[in-house]
A and B are shown apart, each in its own frame.
Chain A
Amino acid sequence: SSELTQDPAVSVALGQTVRITCQGDSLRSYYATWYQQKPGQAPVLVIYGKNNRPSGIPDRFSGSSSGNTASLTITGAQAEDEADYYCNSRDSSGKHLNVVFGGGTKLTVL
């Protein structure tokens, strides 16, 4: 099965824009889905499909994709956005249909 690669850590100044990326061959065929996880809490869906936000997710979160790279952009990062962010997608590269997660990116808001 293929893998999804994320930068382990990213930082952003309060109010600035940050892009978190996710790379993998499966992203040429499938959209990435993005989750936010804060310490001690279950993950929360933030972006799915081409660029869809569940209700309750602020519009400062957006998603995009190009080739084998998907991106989660936070425009005007807030202190409460400090969290781990994970991408995932379906993967059909092997014999069986799989789902793959990236290793996660720890976002620090300075």
Chain B
Amino acid sequence: EVQLVESGGGLVQPGRSLRLSCAASGFTFDDYAMNWVRQAPGKGLEWVSSISWNSGNIGYADSVRGRFTISRDNTKNSLYLQMNSLRADDTALYYCAKDTGSTWSEFDYWGQGSLVTVSS
């Protein structure tokens, strides 16, 4: 059974940093691209970042480029999102999502999300 479990969210002040983690199990992690998608309270889904199986290709939404860094450790079956210079509009539930392959747009399994609240 595929499982994705996010952690690391919480309340953080504007300008500070936070690192999200996603622990994956139930599939061969290094065969698939992985993704982060967020959802602000009461709003729609927003793509944040994607990373290929070997970290060779990485993409970011314009809204986070230069502030967020995606990475993965295939030896630990884990995905990460380092979030720096956080702003109030980064407040959202952050989902880790598995790709069907290397499409960057077909997300077949999702975690339950990790809530990030940016507020003073």
Contact = CB atoms under 8 A, between A and B. Distances in A.
A35 B109 CA distance: 11
B23 to A, nearest CB: 15
B44 A99 contact: no
A61 interface: no
Contacts of B95: 42-43
Interface residues of B, number: 25
A86 B45 contact: yes
Contacts, number: 68
B11 interface: no
Contacts of A98: 47, 59, 61-62
Contact of A54 (B50, B65, B108): B108
**A-side interface mostly:** strand
Interface string B4-15: 000000000000
Interface in A81-110: 84, 86, 88-90, 94, 96-104
Given A97-B59, A98-B59, A99-B59, A45 B108 contact: yes
A11 interface: no
Nearest to B44: A104
B32 interface: no
A1 B104 contact: no
Contact of B110 (A1, A43, A54): A43
Contacts of A100: 47
B66 to A, nearest CB: 12
A103 B50 CA distance: 20
Contact of A99 (B50, B65, B111, B113): B50
A88 B105 contact: yes
A45 B107 contact: yes
Interface of A: 1, 30, 33, 35, 37, 42-45, 48-49, 54, 84, 86, 88-90, 94, 96-104
